[in-house]
Amino acid sequence: MTAVAARPGSVAPPSLRLRFGWAVTDTLTITRRNLLVWMRVPAYLMFTVIQPVMFVLLFRYVFGGAIHVPGNYVNFLMPGIIGQTAAFASFGTAISLAQELKKGVIDRLRSMPMARSAVLAGRLVADAGRMLATILIIVAVGYAVGFRFTNGVLAAIVMVVLATVFGLSICCIAAYTGLAIGDEESVQAFGLTWLFPITFLSSAFVPIATMPGWLQAFANNQPVTFIINAMRALAMGGPLEANMWKSVACLIAIFVVFLPLAVRAYRRAG
């Protein structure tokens, strides 16, 4: 290394177009890095893929017999499992960001002349990819235990997209909490305390009508139920529109509130 070598960061401020180009390549670099890390750690694969597969088998063969729904339980179950899996993918988001914050990785990235948006954007893109891969594996496992899409290919694709967008919205909340709390154990505990109830107290695994009245009031009117119902309608047919609108409204609301919060937490991180 000599002082004569060209400095990579030129002193002249880069043009707007160049900066936009960098924002894209920086996001892709971070995405690539995050996916590489994910594939390198067996434990991450274990939690993100094996756990939902175990849930499929558990509900299909152990609890399923005791749960009565109109039609086939496995068809009722799969959209619920997929929705929950997408939501739980956010644990990875929160824990990774909290770890990076603690280890000083975020500090290093923030002190570099890279696009400021890229760390969060790359994280969310990688998480979306991770989620999509997981969902496809679960659908395959579902097919092996008797699940079938009965509403056409297009609706099935829309369902997968809806699940992924839902998962991403939860990832935004997780990114915010991960950066704001900054400690992986606390972040994990915090995630469990709200994600577990909100996904189980919904239409994901059982018909809400079987719950006590006070619980029905909550379960019938919370975002996870709207989204699972919409996904179920997309997978199996049935009344879609009302649930779809409510789902889209909830998703927009989550993004509008939590994306700016996550960005702010990133800027102030540490």
Check residue 213 for interaction with other proteins (CB under 8 A). Answer: no
Q: Is-contact 38 126, C-beta < 8 A?
A: yes
Q: How far is the CB of 259 from other proteins (least distance, A)?
A: 22
* Closer residue to other proteins (CB): 111 or 212: 111
Check residue 22 for interaction with other proteins (CB under 8 A). Answer: yes
Check residue 8 for interaction with other proteins (CB under 8 A). Answer: yes
Check residue 109 for interaction with other proteins (CB under 8 A). Answer: yes
Written as six digits, the tokens of 54 are: 């175990």
Total binding residues for other proteins by CB under 8 A?
A: 34
What crossing angle do the helices spanning 223-236 and 73-88 adopt, rounded to 10°? 130
Check residue 103 for interaction with other proteins (CB under 8 A). Answer: yes
Check residue 207 for interaction with other proteins (CB under 8 A). Answer: no
Q: Binder to other proteins among 15, 111, 153, 154 (CB under 8 A)?
A: 111
Q: Binder to other proteins among 67, 69, 105, 133 (CB under 8 A)?
A: 105
Check residue 5 for interaction with other proteins (CB under 8 A). Answer: yes
Using the contact rule CB under 8 A, the part of the chain among 4-12, 124-132, 177-185, 255-263 near other proteins is 4-12
Annotate 192-251 with DSSP letters as a single string: HHHHHHHHHSSTTTS-GGGS-HHHHHHHHTSHHHHHHHHHHHHHH-S--HHHHHHHHHHH
Evaluated on CA atoms 210, 215, 219, 220, the torsion sign reads positive
From CA 80, how far away is CA 84, in angstroms rounded? 6
Using the contact rule CB under 8 A, the part of the chain among 59-67, 103-111, 170-178, 188-196 near other proteins is 103-111
Binding mask 40-59 toward other proteins (x if CB under 8 A, else -) reads xx------------------
From CA 45, how far away is CA 130, in angstroms rounded? 10
From CA 219, how far away is CA 201, in angstroms rounded? 6
Written as six digits, the tokens of 16 are: 């707007």
From CA 186, how far away is CA 181, in angstroms rounded? 7
Q: Binder to other proteins among 54, 58, 71, 104 (CB under 8 A)?
A: 104
Using the contact rule CB under 8 A, the part of the chain among 2-10, 51-59, 170-178, 256-264 near other proteins is 2-10
Q: Is-contact 93 175, C-beta < 8 A?
A: yes
Q: Radius of gyration over alpha carbons of the chain, in Å?
A: 21
Residues that bind other proteins (CB under 8 A): 1-3, 5, 7-11, 13, 22, 25-26, 29-30, 32-33, 36-37, 40-41, 103-105, 107-114, 118, 270
